[in-house]
Structure 1
């Protein structure tokens, strides 16, 4: 399912127009301004009971090797997003 299909399904299952459903999807999932991205950027965890949790992990600075040249380079530390599915979501997928 892509974003357009998600918007259509959300509109179908609620009393929202497709335009309003698109606003809701963007408010949650937009990579720059969405609620999930804002929580992760602030270093906070977003927990949706039964569904799962979104949080950021820190990857420490490390050394890596350029496979083309063999030269060692430093890869800077960075944060990356993580999603951990909740128990109910895991059980639903197993059925």
Structure 2
């Protein structure tokens, strides 16, 4: 499968081609969606989009000794949250059935 990087602009163009909505309005909606998604995650909420997947803030354990591979310096990593995505069942099935090209 060839890997193609899709940008926000590409998404806006795709929605524009499949709807009668102006690009300017599509961009506002996508920007608003991303803003609110980030805000909900920053508050520790989970965002469930049925048929697509779930975004959540997950707590990563800290480590008493981590190493910077570039400098070799060791340091302590505090517990912290990271953004995580879990694919929904429908998306998992679609990806499972993808054929390598």
- Alignment TM class, shorter chain as reference: 0.7 to 0.9
What's the secondary structure of 1:43's corresponding residue?
coil
Structure 2 unaligned segments of length 5 or more: list them.
1-5
For CA contacts below 8 A with separation 6 or more, give which structure has more relative contact order: 2
Give TM-score, length-normalised by structure 1.
0.83
The structural deviation recorded for 1:13 is 1.7
Give TM-score, length-normalised by structure 2.
0.79
* TM superposition outliers: structure 1 runs of 4+ over 6 Å: none
User: Using the alignment, how far apart are the partners of 2:66 and 2:96 within structure 1?
Assistant: 38
Establish whether residue 38 from structure 1 lines up as the match of residue 59 from structure 2.
Answer: no
What's the secondary structure of 1:93's corresponding residue?
helix
Structure 1 unaligned segments of length 5 or more: list them.
none
User: Taking structure 1 as reference, are residues 18 and 64 closer, same or farther at Cα in structure 2, changes over 3 Å only?
Assistant: same
